[in-house]
Structure 1
Amino acid sequence: MAADGVGTSLPSAPGAATARALPAGSPVLFGRSEELAVLTGLVDAARSDAADSNGDRQGGAAVLVEGEAGIGKTALVTAVEQHARQAGFRVLRCTGLQGSNTVGFDGLHELLHPLLPYVAALPDRQRTALLTAFAVEEGPVPDRLLVSTAALGLLEEAASRRPVLVLAEDMQWTDRSSAEVLDFIGLRLSNAPIVVIATARTGHDVHVTLPCSFPRFDLGPLGADAAETLLATLADTLPRPLSDTARRRILTEAGGNPLALHELPAALAATGVAGTSLSSRLPTTRRLEQAFLDQLSAVPVASRAFLVLAAVADDAALQDVMAAARTMDLGLDDLEPLEVRGLLRTDFASLHFRHPLLRSAVIGNASAAELAAAHRALASVARDETRAAWHRASATFERDETIAADLEAVARRAEQRGARPEAVRAYERAATLSQGVVGRARRLGRAAETARAAGMTSEAIELLAQVDSLAGDAQTVTETAVTRTVLSLTTGSVGAPPLEMDRVRSVLAGPEHADRLVEVLWAAALVVRGRNRPRAEWHALESELRTIPSTSPLKPVALALLTPLGAAPAARANLPHLVPQLLASPLGMASLAIAAESLQDLETALTCWELAYERAHELGAVADETQALRGRATILLLRGRVRDAVADAEYAARMAGDSQIPLVAGIAHGTLARAYALLGDVEAARRAIRDSSSRSTGGRLALSSADARWAAGLIALGQHRYRDALVEFTHMAVHPTRALWAIADRTEAAVHGGRPETVTEDLAEAEAVASGFHSAHLTSLVLRSRALLAPADEAEHYWSRAIEAGQLSESPIELARTRLLFGEWLRRERRVVEAREHLRDALGEFDAAGTPVFAARAAAELRAAGEVPLRDTTERPTTSNPLTPQELQIARLAADGMSNREIADRIYLSHRTVSTHLYKLFPKLGVTSRTGLTEALAANGYAD
């Protein structure tokens, strides 16, 4: 037995002698005392935590019990279940089913169905998302993060009444949508007494990558003594005693597998000691399957047909299975031999196999004709459209457009419920059955986009490659181009196939496709800019775009992305007019915001990011919402709202991580690094730089690289390592817009590092851009740079103009930095009275922005100029225990009058998690309730 993995660590297992006794009525376990003690220990810890009234809870735990088929996973968790019930736990259970074809979230629905009476306690959006996923209500397509947050909230609601044990068996067969939600839940159990125990089969016959990050608990074979004791107990129930030879053979071949110890004696009786069913050349699972099949040798032919029918029926109701059996001329008489032999049992609602491995063996041993007959029979009686469509597809071995259309409808229904992994599977199968190439390409294209949205990056890449091999129509070519773009810019995937522009042009030739071609080129523009492709690609796209007669709003956006100077000044003036045309699309708004940044229109950029965020939040499009938050953080940072920028970037990084969008998480961490560098928190900045790099494993975007370099340069600049700073700032050239915004920082590093000549050319370019776009912000940075480079008799002219431009730029922190540098210059020129005015103003701005390092520097300069600051601003008036970015975000929303549930809906947390955050932040701000939060935030230096 071993445990490893990510998340809550498992307690050490006590020795077998100290393992607790099983409750009365529990299944008898042999040789599992240590394993049982570990798992019941998790239950006991959660129970103790639930009884703790001091509010400082550690929460629950999650673990994945892994082992080969028949190793005793179910018996072990059943014993844990009985222990938990005696301890007062509520037990919730779901079980995966091999080969099950669902619309998605079936496992989650099975698990949470008993808790649906509590659903009214959830925040509105979360409740709607969960009920839509369960097809109980119709609502907007729910995002996985919203469904996951709702499911966690529902469990927390139940756990507020009594502790909860979640048992998720056979995770390798649980529908992927449910498995992803369970993984999300298992990693966020710090606020409630909830224990999640999942089981999964390992072995050569399981080809599933589990979306599970729980600590692993490997359940190995029984020891020799325990295996002998179990076999001796079982031998007493056999019709005749086992010989010593048979006993030794069974113990050897079973290899400590409890199910093998149960089943091999029967197989031995059927085939003899030398029978092939006990061949040691087969893995344990195969030997067990063969042992089951040997027991079927005496079963009548009709009963074997009934067994195949039951095996492919998923979890269909008994009445449906019997109705399907009648269409095959089968009935109760054929079921009876299976019940007598203990192969099947019925509870008058459904049929159950003695063990899942028996079901696997039956399916694996059945012929294609037998399986097809069973599926046709089930399709003929199925009352559910999804089940019927899948059974018809499983019975079909030729292309069939009618069945393909039925499966496409299944995929659309799954998408509507937010079950994207299941939709991908349905689209893929529909494509396989499609009769025409165009239809096949269209369905594969939809599968690729759905896979991308589901975070199934490798699957999306493979599907795009398949689409490329087919002759798709104009719509498919356009849609797959956008899919590739978003895939490249959000996951960093280097495996996404490149745009084959010649083929695209041939499909989109003609004036009727002009807007579609513009959309493809707009997508390409986002990629070449985001990945800083060679300039030849930029110019080629620009030239082609200018020749297309299209009024699409994406055309000026794409041109602005590719050639900002060439697009000025008319393009800049036109940007605000494009907003209403792109408002419905978060991605369109995001691209417009990036174009506005490129054209130095920060006001329009901020408007677009905010509108993109609101629209994405309204649609439940978390990936777009995350990107918009990251973008807004950038503009807030430029405007000196550093702590607001930290809150947005931290939120974006958390959501991107939760939604498996690594590259966006990397970009958000880059923004965080720059913010922390401005705040003077060097360790936090360096940590964010590392996080940015580690989350960009698929190929870093120019944006995240530039932000990380900028942050590293600011750190070096603050530590007077000017040559190091200059190196970092110089490498920012990979992102032209960021390089422009950092021109004053680079110039400062170059001047103090003795390399002023290195900025001459880039400063001239920045000056041209600032002039061409009439940008007060960039103009102020250029003039500050000129002042730093100018001889003493010319510098004051530039300093004064830089301050004038800064006053128009709505960037108080940059204005303050200009005043600080000018004040230092004036003091060196022995003009201390004039210096004091600028240093005093700079100190006030730095203090208001919450940048203590800059404030300390300004205060020191002010003292050197002969004036003592009114108060020591080197220490900000915050508490000794500052708010985290998430606490600040929650505090501000609460101060705005939002309830816990409204806050939870806004920032994708459960309402009980919000309550916990408020409980922790109130003392930090010196308040006991929401009353006075606004004043407390201002008093502690967190004014908005």
Structure 2
Amino acid sequence: MLDDLLGQVRSGRSGTLVLRGEAGSGKTALLDHLAERASFARVLRASGVEAESEMAYSALHQVCAPLLGHLDALPAGQRGALNTAFGLAVGPVPEQLLVGVAVLGLFAEAAARRPLVCVVDDVQWIDAASAVALGFVARRLSAESAALVFAVRSPGDLLRGLPELRVDGLPAAEARELLDSALTGPVDPRVRDRIVAETRGNPLALLELPRSLSPAELAFGFDGSSAAPFADRVEAGFERRIRALPPATRTMLLAAAMEPVGDSLMLWRALELMGVGPESAGPAEADDLIELGARVRFRHPLVRSAVRRCAATAEVRAVHAALAEVTDPVIDPDRRAWHRAHAAAGPDEQVAAELEGSAGRAMARGGWAAAAALLERAAELTAAPSRRGTILLAAAGAQAEAGSYAAVPGLLGAAELCPLDALQQARLERLRAQVAFKLSHGRDAGPPLLAAARRLEKLDPVAARDTFLLAIGAAVYAGRFGGDDLRVAAQAARDAALDGETFADLLLTGLVSWVLDGRTAAAPLLNRCLDAADEHGDPGLLWLTLPVASEMFRTDVAGRLSRQAIRSAFGAGALAQLPDALVMWAVSLINDGRLTEAAEVLDEIDEVARATGASVYQISRLNLAVRRGPADEAETLIAAKLDEAAAHGNGRLHSLAKDALAKLHLALGNHRAALRAAQEMTAYRELATYQWCLRELAEAAAGAGERDIAEAARDQLAETVATTPTPGALGVKAVVDALTAPDGQAEQLYRDAIDLLSRTGTGVEGQRARLLYGEWLRRLGRLDEARAELRAAHQAFTTMGAHLWAGRAARELVLAGEVVGAATPDDRRELTTQEAAIAQLTVAGRTNAEIGAALFLSPRTVEWHLRRVYAKLGVANRRELTAARSPRSS
């Protein structure tokens, strides 16, 4: 497999592989094999070190340091992100995903000159920030002439789903041969077979255990009574050998284990301070435990961990103190502070302050997990309770930024045991509620957020405003399960009288008015907020801006804002907001009938969430499922979302699932079932969805013969549309009016609806209106006209990939007397989803670099996909591609 991977790289393609196996299974030996066979390529090597696992980007820096000469070829934002992440420059905090995109670009630039092979060993010990970036790059390598190979004991979430090779023990014959090479004397064949069976062919166990046991112990088969895992038993064997070494040698090994980068010069300077000379290395080298050259290398990572287990606490502190002394405080202040922190036997305010400084630098590099670890250790070294509380609160905030939400409650609980001032206590309550909302979007977060907002009113008005917005947003999501929470939160925000003209101020004022004064009074305020969003919008509030845009029937705003947010995310590195921006974009694509592209974006959202650790409110899959099908899968997904909504008290999710259920039953022609779902959904006035579902209610009621219900829905919708007469709103109203109008008036209403809803942003609704018009014509016996409308709807739904609605159109066509054959897909269906997205962006005039940034690909990969697109469509270049694509594609 490794040789085949190198063959791919030789041919200009890329590949990724994860070697997974227990300690001692031979993963490192396979990486050595790969590096030796890759003489045609540039080989990069890095290894996780347990002592460095909390230092942000330490492993990534090992990988990228030889490639930094290519930095100037990257876009400015990516170049700045890497410079800041590696501490080469001071700049804004780089988001982890932007660092990943930058590393991908760096790999592509380097591989353009010479193929690249990168191997990363002991991934289980690399720092979290590096793991995010490398996992991201691994999923995006395609046509860069590069290979990325990991060795890991357990793959973890960040490597899950990548191509994997399980490295198990050797087969029995090879295991016996290897064991024989390690034995120093004769062993009973039955004992030898028992050893092979007990080690399960683990190569390191077969080689090392015979060396650590006496002939008498060996005769009984490696102390077969032990039930310990083989990694532990091998490590125990190393421990016995280490304990038998002279004290100076053990000190030398301990210093090497504590010095994570393998710098031999620094190692010997530290040992000199401890009175240990170079002769101490002899016994360890003779016992094949360590290699000492320009770099220090242990025979196996288990030797390093065994050395640490053999050492007393005082010895560990002494070594850390010596290493701190020889670490340059200017060049490497963070590693020096880390060593000093571990050398401290008790509280040390100076070291705590140094750790806080290191945490600040880690945050500036986007290393939130590292910052949290540094702050937690700083808190341990701080004697003053009030200062400890401040540091713990900062550590909790860093963990939340890192997406490690499970760690936040414990830190907040510890902070509460310290004396906090009123502002700190309010911020603590806010953070606890924010994390609760992030995890479930349920009711429980709303009241605590409101309590925190009230406490912040006089302490920090800006924070109070932001927290009131959070409280109202949480109550919006709780919906029908939140009781009177939404009204209470809105009234409290109004009573606070927090005036201002920022986008957040306008949004808060509009939402408060919507809750307390009603939609008609709030409409001008909410529209003013949306008008300001283009220039002054806050990316952090996209999760609330989208529902407001939908409430106002401003589908154009939602699409425009999402595109702007995506561009600014890449331009400014604000990628923490990218998931919400992509959610908005997916909604716009679905509404416009561009379902293939929407599916690709939804996959991107999952990828971003996996890369950043973010929790994303991924409701768009429901909207996609009830258009694409299959019906049974859509129904299963809806049922799962209803269960999730009930479990978390998430009323918005409940309403959206019921709306999806109504659409599903309408697509299948089950009007009674659709009516029940729509009635339950509209029983509560939900922000952004209530008025849209009135259309489903009217269609279901009309189809079920419940004219009174349909007319009541029509009247409610007319009142809503009067305050926001956008084309989308007027189009939906025209549909409902047509469903309830006399035959003499319905035809023009249907035509108006088709015209209004066939514009950008409401393409699916436009074709649904055409389908209803064709059904109406069929019922009147105007079959030729009916077939023309139904045929057009069927073709449009098929092209969109809206298979459930295409099925309903096909059934109506049969009733109109037409035989429906298999649909002929258009040229886009011949492309993969990624190829279709690249073709779309190419026609829109984007460069390869811009397309790569939008789809998280390197420019070389984009070019490779474009060549495939050209071949499939029979065109030669971008100009011909643009001419070949339909106007709708652009």
- Whether TM-score is above 0.5 comes out as yes
- Asked if residue 629 in structure 1 is aligned to residue 629 in structure 2, the reply is no
Contact 2:175 2:203 in 1 (8 A): yes
Match of 2:538 in 1: 585
Match of 2:254 in 1: 308
Match of 1:35 in 2: none
Contact 2:609 2:616 in 1 (8 A): no
Instruction: After superposing the two structures, state which structure 1 stretch, 540-549 or 873-882, moved more.
Output: 873-882
Match of 1:547 in 2: 495
Match of 1:659 in 2: 609
- Asked if residue 75 in structure 1 is aligned to residue 29 in structure 2, the reply is yes
Match of 1:151 in 2: 103
CA distance in 1, matches of 2:865, 2:638: 26
Give the 5 Å matches for 1:655-804.
Answer: 655-660=605-610, 664=616, 666-673=618-625, 677=627, 681-683=628-630, 709-733=658-682, 735-758=686-709, 763-773=714-724, 777-782=728-733, 784-790=735-741
How far apart are 1:390 and its partner, in Å? 0.7
Note the residue ranges of structure 1 that are not aligned, 5 or more in a row: 1-41
Letter in 2 for 1:642: G
Distance 1:852 1:544, change over 3 A: closer
Contact 2:290 2:299 in 1 (8 A): yes
- Asked if residue 353 in structure 1 is aligned to residue 268 in structure 2, the reply is no
- Asked if residue 530 in structure 1 is aligned to residue 481 in structure 2, the reply is no
CA distance in 1, matches of 2:735, 2:443: 44
CA distance in 1, matches of 2:209, 2:768: 80
Distance 1:496 1:529, change over 3 A: closer
Contact 2:665 2:674 in 1 (8 A): yes
Match of 1:44 in 2: 3
CA distance in 2, matches of 1:222, 1:830: 76
Deviations 1:313-369 (A, max 9, x none): 22252222222223333333444554455444320x343334322221221122222
Q: SS in structure 1 opposite 2:17? A: strand
CA distance in 2, matches of 1:93, 1:182: 13
- Asked if residue 619 in structure 1 is aligned to residue 572 in structure 2, the reply is yes
Distance 1:188 1:64, change over 3 A: farther
Letter in 2 for 1:522: L
- Asked if residue 171 in structure 1 is aligned to residue 123 in structure 2, the reply is yes
CA distance in 1, matches of 2:172, 2:797: 72
Contact 2:841 2:851 in 1 (8 A): yes
Contact 2:400 2:408 in 1 (8 A): yes
CA distance in 1, matches of 2:317, 2:70: 43
How far apart are 1:279 and its partner, in Å? 7.9
Letter in 1 for 2:359: A
How far apart are 1:633 and its partner, in Å? 4.2
Identity %, equivalent residues: 29
Match of 1:85 in 2: 38
CA distance in 1, matches of 2:444, 2:389: 17
- Asked if residue 910 in structure 1 is aligned to residue 858 in structure 2, the reply is yes
Note the residue ranges of structure 2 that are not aligned, 5 or more in a row: none
CA distance in 2, matches of 1:293, 1:827: 85
Deviations 1:465-524 (A, max 9, x none): 65566665566566666656765666547799776358636743x634344333222112
Normalised by the size of structure 1, how large is the TM-score? 0.78
CA distance in 2, matches of 1:755, 1:888: 43
Give the 5 Å matches for 1:6-405.
Answer: 42-49=1-8, 60-68=15-23, 70-82=24-36, 84-85=37-38, 88=40, 90-100=42-52, 103-120=55-72, 122-156=74-108, 164-191=116-143, 194-201=146-153, 211-214=159-162, 217-222=165-170, 225-235=173-183, 241=185, 251=195, 256-268=201-213, 280-281=225-226, 283=228, 284-315=230-261, 317-347=263-293, 349-383=294-328, 384-405=332-353
CA distance in 2, matches of 1:209, 1:860: 45
- Asked if residue 922 in structure 1 is aligned to residue 847 in structure 2, the reply is no
- Asked if residue 414 in structure 1 is aligned to residue 368 in structure 2, the reply is no
Match of 1:10 in 2: none
Instruction: After superposing the two structures, state which structure 1 stretch, 109-118 or 705-714, moved more.
Output: 705-714
Deviations 1:379-424 (A, max 9, x none): 1221111111111111224344433332233223223323333233
Match of 1:521 in 2: 468
CA distance in 2, matches of 1:468, 1:496: 20
Contact 1:669 1:692 in 2 (8 A): no
Contact 1:481 1:520 in 2 (8 A): no
CA distance in 2, matches of 1:223, 1:845: 58
Distance 1:927 1:371, change over 3 A: same
Aligned Cα root-mean-square deviation (Å): 4.9
Deviations 1:532-590 (A, max 9, x none): 34231112112211211211454552454466262544543234554659936311355
Distance 1:798 1:256, change over 3 A: closer
Distance 1:584 1:134, change over 3 A: farther
Q: SS in structure 2 opposite 1:932? A: helix
CA distance in 1, matches of 2:781, 2:177: 95
CA distance in 1, matches of 2:838, 2:201: 54
Q: SS in structure 1 opposite 2:674? A: helix
Deviations 1:583-621 (A, max 9, x none): 363113552343343344545555544444443333323
Contact 1:716 1:724 in 2 (8 A): yes
CA distance in 2, matches of 1:72, 1:859: 59
Contact 2:446 2:474 in 1 (8 A): no
How far apart are 1:120 and its partner, in Å? 5.0
Letter in 2 for 1:428: E
- Give the structure with the higher percent helix: 2
Letter in 1 for 2:466: E
Contact 2:194 2:221 in 1 (8 A): no
Match of 1:11 in 2: none
CA distance in 2, matches of 1:844, 1:528: 41
Q: SS in structure 2 opposite 1:329? A: coil
Contact 1:414 1:423 in 2 (8 A): yes
Q: SS in structure 1 opposite 2:861? A: helix
Deviations 1:794-841 (A, max 9, x none): 8689779978987999857656755764676577668999x8999699
Distance 1:692 1:821, change over 3 A: closer
Contact 1:177 1:421 in 2 (8 A): yes
CA distance in 2, matches of 1:771, 1:920: 50
CA distance in 2, matches of 1:155, 1:738: 45
How far apart are 1:623 and its partner, in Å? 4.1
Letter in 2 for 1:62: L
Instruction: After superposing the two structures, state which structure 1 stretch, 908-917 or 177-186, moved more.
Output: 177-186
CA distance in 1, matches of 2:780, 2:283: 105
Distance 1:356 1:892, change over 3 A: closer
Distance 1:300 1:664, change over 3 A: closer
